[in-house]
A and B are shown apart, each in its own frame.
Chain A
Amino acid sequence: MYYVDLLISGVAFGCLYAMATMGLTLVYGLLRILHIAHAALFTLGAFVGVWVFNASGSLIVGLIVAILAAVVMGCLIYRLIYESILSQPPYVPLLASLGVLIFLQDGFRIVFGEEGLTVRHNPFYMANFTIGAFSINVIYIVMAGGALISMAVLAFFANYSRHGIAWRATVSRPLLAANFGVNVIQVRYAAFAAGSALAAIAGVLVALMNNLVEPHSGELISYKGLAIIVLGGLGNMQGAFIASLVLGIAESFGIGLAGRYVDRDAIAAVALIATLMIFPNGIGRART
């Protein structure tokens, strides 16, 4: 039962990581930028979602506004920061991204306060789903379900719609895709929008689970996100999803069995090193 519990929490978090970091994979695939400021969109979504939920009393409204806020901010980061430095060496956008992350985190501190926000009427408080001796936090089910549904929608779009196929073509060869009428700029905005929306949903879910969102909540996924996209094979969506699950489960068991000696991010680092020793290009095939 203990191991089942660890597995459940690992899978729930793996799904959450996948949803939260998909934006990193999408952006890396298109632009070769390590978009670490993505973590701030997770936090922004959580803050806006909780704030609107508390004010309006509707979680759905909160979620929608959170998604909108994150999408707008994600697209702004592309337009105002990345677009002008795309031709620079990769460390330039990375440093810019890090700067944006710090800037936004301090912005949250000023706007929402150091102690963060709590959810006033949390529907998942003490909500658990029990079958016999077995019980799961409802929020875990929501986290895993939300992630799987949104990933499935994204995968369906990417594989079965014309626009999704054009998007993948752009990842593969952006110049040539443009010659077939694919608007590469629109594809970039779409990637930032989709990734930011997913991060916002993940942020709201974590805020509901902890009943707390803090200015630095995004640190949960910032550095781990980088590990996930490397593990997944830089820019590969399926690879990133598998890597997220592996990492979620590794963390859960790692903390459960050796939590007195290692912390969460150390497990991510160990998983990264171990996987790269076995699969030097990551779990999925790296796009070059």
Chain B
Amino acid sequence: MLELQDFSCGYGGTAAVESLNCTFAAGALTALLGPNGAGKTSTLMAVMGHVAPMGGRILFEGRDITNRPPVDRSKIGIAVVPEGRQLFGDLTVEENLIVGGYSLPVAAARAEQEQVYSLFPRLAERRAQISGSLSGGEQQMLAIGRALMAKPKLLLIDELSLGLMPKMVDVCIEALTRVRQNGLTIVLVEQNTSRALSIADHVYVLASGRCVMHGSSAEVKDNTEIFEAYVGIH
């Protein structure tokens, strides 16, 4: 589905990610783990087109998208749940969803909206509320719902659990599990390592912008020595 080949990127000439090689299989949930500053968010933002590539390629469904402008990525099927939610705070819940489905035809977007409301009934109750006034959990639901509105093939999630009550994290994970049944590919950046390991199919561990280990969730869990050295079990 998504492949990074010898990929480097960064800000203002300073590399945040160097020579990264990752493959994200279709239908899988792949976790990117690692300490702060490891380059996880930079990797996601590069896939969204917001971080300047400095070498290598990004392939999506076999096509090179390394230098395509951000505005195209929604159309080809990539959506993001950014770090800190980043809702359109002045807009209502429903308006946020409308923007999420902006690249779909109107009828398709409307159908998708009903799907999101059935996935998160709480959002349906609050559809006319200004999104900036939602609780943290509701905001995360909306951020996920907004991304799903684009009917993506690939969903990038940056810090699902950050700042949320455990119960809200459960709700979100359960929703993700449901949408995965339709074959959605997910890349998850997560600080809460044990949570991530419990749901991920495959794991990449990054440190200082490089991939230090990868493998199936089970393999990584078994290789505790290296894993703890870089990440630390929480």
Direct A–B contact in complex, judged by CB atoms less than 8 Å apart: yes
Flag the segment in A52-60, A139-147, A160-168 that touches B: A160-168
Q: Is the CB of B86 within 8 A of A162?
A: no
Q: Chain A interface (Cβ within 8 Å of chain B)? A: 162, 165-166, 168-169, 171-173, 175-184, 287
Q: Is the CB of B90 within 8 A of A162?
A: no
Distance in angstroms from A279 CB to nearest chain B CB is 18
Chosen A-B contacts, 25 in total, with CB atoms closer than 8 Å, are A162-B98, A162-B106, A165-B91, A165-B95, A165-B98, A165-B99, A168-B91, A169-B88, A169-B91, A169-B95, A172-B89, A175-B50, A175-B70, A178-B70, A179-B48, A179-B79, A180-B99, A180-B102, A180-B103, A180-B150, A181-B102, A181-B150, A182-B71, A182-B102, A287-B90
Interface residues of B toward A: which range? 20 to 34
Q: Is the CB of B90 within 8 A of A172?
A: yes
Neighbouring A residues of B95 by C-beta, 8 Å:
165, 168-169
Known interface pairs A168-B91, A179-B80; A173-B71 also in contact (CB < 8 Å)? no
Chain A residue at minimum C-beta to C-beta distance from B90: A172
Verify if B73 is at the interface (C-beta below 8 Å from A): yes
Q: Is the CB of B89 within 8 A of A181?
A: no
Interface positions, chain B 78-109, Cβ under 8 Å from A, are: 79-80, 82, 86, 88-91, 95-96, 98-103, 106
9 shortest interchain CB distances as A-B pairs: A181-B103, A181-B74, A172-B88, A169-B99, A178-B70, A169-B88, A178-B71, A165-B95, A181-B102
Q: Chain B interface (Cβ within 8 Å of chain A)? A: 48-50, 69-71, 73-75, 79-80, 82, 86, 88-91, 95-96, 98-103, 106, 146, 149-150
Neighbouring B residues of A184 by C-beta, 8 Å:
71
* Residue of A165, A169, A172, A181 touching B71 (CB-CB under 8 A): A181
Q: Is the CB of A176 within 8 A of B102?
A: no
- Tell me the total A-B contact number using a CB cutoff of 8 A: 68
Grouping DSSP codes into helix (H, G, I), strand (E, B) and loop, the A interface class, with mixed when no group exceeds half, is helix
Interface centre among A173, A177, A179 (most CB of B within 10 A): A179
Cα of A168 to Cα of B89 in the assembled complex, Å: 10
Q: Is the CB of A168 within 8 A of B88?
A: yes
Neighbouring B residues of A169 by C-beta, 8 Å:
88, 91, 95-96, 99
Neighbouring B residues of A183 by C-beta, 8 Å:
71
Neighbouring A residues of B69 by C-beta, 8 Å:
178
Distance in angstroms from A30 CB to nearest chain B CB is 13
Chain B residue at minimum C-beta to C-beta distance from A182: B102
Neighbouring B residues of A168 by C-beta, 8 Å:
88, 90-91, 95
Q: Is the CB of B88 within 8 A of A173?
A: yes
Interface centre among B91, B99, B103 (most CB of A within 10 A): B99
Cα of A169 to Cα of B95 in the assembled complex, Å: 9
Cα of A181 to Cα of B86 in the assembled complex, Å: 16
Neighbouring A residues of B86 by C-beta, 8 Å:
173, 176
Q: Is the CB of B88 within 8 A of A177?
A: yes
Cα of A169 to Cα of B102 in the assembled complex, Å: 11
Distance in angstroms from B212 CB to nearest chain A CB is 29
Neighbouring B residues of A173 by C-beta, 8 Å:
86, 88
Neighbouring A residues of B98 by C-beta, 8 Å:
162, 165-166
Cα of A176 to Cα of B75 in the assembled complex, Å: 14
Cα of A166 to Cα of B149 in the assembled complex, Å: 14
